Amino acid sequence: MGTRTRNVLENIVLAAIILVLLQTLFEDLAVVLDWSIGVRRVLLIFGFFFDLFFTVEFVVRSYEAWRYGRLGNYFWYERGWIDLLASIPLLLLNSGPAVLAILAGGVSVVGVAGMLNVLKVVKAIRIARVLRLLRVLKIFRRIKNAESVMAQRHVAMISATTVSVFVLVLLAATMVEAFVSAPSLDARYQQHSFDMIELISSDQMRRAPALRTSLLKMDSAVLLVRDSGSVVFSRHPDSYYLRHFGPGDYGYIEARGVELFVDLRPINQEQSATNIRYFVVIIAIVLIYMFVYSPHFAMTVSDPIHIMRRGMSEKAYNLEVIVPGQYRHDDVYELSKLYNEVFLPMKDRSSGDETEVSALKMDDLKDMFE
């Protein structure tokens, strides 16, 4: 593959990284702000295609690396593991099922028994979406003040470690919550729904429809109730459901011929708000590393080394390293002092009468000799 083609592809990937970050933010924002289902569907489908794109990219990169016998190098040292975490799991566990649910046009939560566990698993998967943010690390290569490969590697390493630990701990905690019974908003919500279906499907309530309707009106979580196939209560007109409810926005429970549809949006909104907080925290961490730590690393580690390397390899280069007072005891600056005070004077004496290295290069004469 030519360098130009490779650069074009890298720029496409970079653009996709930025777009997927926006898509991730907007997807959660759409839930929190209760945007119409049409907009949320579009965002979900975009998310699916981004995940598909990054999955294909990961597979192609892995194949290329494998072909040249450097798969391990790609996976461990070139942050291939980030490419993996931010692609296939999201496609299989998050955007893939969501798009399938849209295509199926049905509810994602079916039946009373599975409701609680399914909700918890869905919640865990949604947290996994934050992993997409890890891909922003690829942008480090383009940061102006970190031209040094060493600076890029160190800053990318520390960013990847922090972000991935943050995300993996969140994931693990959510997974644990899914399989360990503990008091939570979800659990209370579910228990409330079970209690409600028990109550409204009881013979006593069925015999007092006015009382049942009053009770259902008071519970804002109840959307719609059908008894023996007939709608006995609906909080909103059908057009409202069509416009605002998609897969995962409502739960369905059935008992003794009574069907209860409950509003899951408050739980989803709470989860999306949490996701946005995580998103902002991680973006802040990455930006701080990029714009505060990266220049600091460059200035206190890679810049002095770069100057000393030039001084040692280029005859005419005689600039000293500036040793900042507060860092004078750092190993790098101790070495810089030796470079300034011992190496450069010695180099100057030993260069003797030799003229500086010529600024001219043989390439300058190329066309003359052709």
Partner 1 sequence: MSTDHDKAKAFVGRLLQNPSLRDFSELQREEQIIQFLHVNAAQLGPTLSTPQFFAGKNWNQIFSILLNALYELVNDELLPKLEELIRSKLDLAFLRHMRQTRVDDELVQKQLIAFATDVLKKPDARRNFTGAYSALVFGIADRYLTVAFDQKKYVHFELTKVQRLRMNKEETRNFVRLTLLLRPIVNLGMSTAATQQERSTGMVQSQFAEKVMHTAKSEMKYIPEQALKSAVDASLSFNENRFVEATSRLAAIFAARSRSYQPNMRVDRGADSPDKSWISVSRRNYKYYGFDIKMLDELYKIAAENNW
Both tokens of residue 170?
Answer: 């969140």
Quick check: 45 and 18 in contact, CB under 8 A?
A: no
CB-wise, 182 or 362, nearer to partner 1? 362
Distance of closest approach, residue 339 Cβ to partner 1, in angstroms: 11
First and final CA of the chain: distance in angstroms? 29
List the one residue from 153, 235, 236, 306 that touches partner 1 (CB under 8 A): 306
Distance of closest approach, residue 360 Cβ to partner 1, in angstroms: 4
CB-wise, 199 or 299, nearer to partner 1? 299
Distance of closest approach, residue 342 Cβ to partner 1, in angstroms: 8
How long, in residues, is the chain?
A: 370
Distance of closest approach, residue 337 Cβ to partner 1, in angstroms: 12
Report the C-alpha gap between 43 and 134 in whole angstroms: 20
User: Scanning residues 31 to 60, which ones bind partner 1 (CB under 8 A)?
Assistant: none
10 Å Cβ neighbour count for 363?
A: 7
Report the C-alpha gap between 119 and 103 in whole angstroms: 20
Query: Of 179-187, 272-280, 285-293, 306-314, which part binds partner 1 (CB under 8 A)?
Result: 306-314
10 Å Cβ neighbour count for 274?
A: 17
Quick check: 246 and 102 in contact, CB under 8 A?
A: yes
Sign of CA dihedral 151, 153, 159, 165: negative
**What is 62-105 written as a DSSP string?**
HHHHHHTT-HHIIIIIS-HHHHHHTTHHHIIIIIHHHHHHHHHT
Say which residue the tokens 């015999």 belong to. Answer: 207
User: Scanning residues 318 to 357, which ones bind partner 1 (CB under 8 A)?
Assistant: 318-322, 340-341, 344-345, 348-349, 351-357
Site string for partner 1, 252-291 (x = CB under 8 A): ----------------------------------------
Site string for partner 1, 115-154 (x = CB under 8 A): ----------------------------------------
Report the C-alpha gap between 330 and 317 in whole angstroms: 24
Query: Of 55-63, 162-170, 234-242, 316-324, which part binds partner 1 (CB under 8 A)?
Result: 316-324
Distance of closest approach, residue 327 Cβ to partner 1, in angstroms: 11
Give the interface with partner 1 as residue ranges (CB under 8 A).
Answer: 298-299, 303-304, 306-307, 310, 316, 318-322, 340-341, 344-345, 348-349, 351-362, 364-365, 368-369
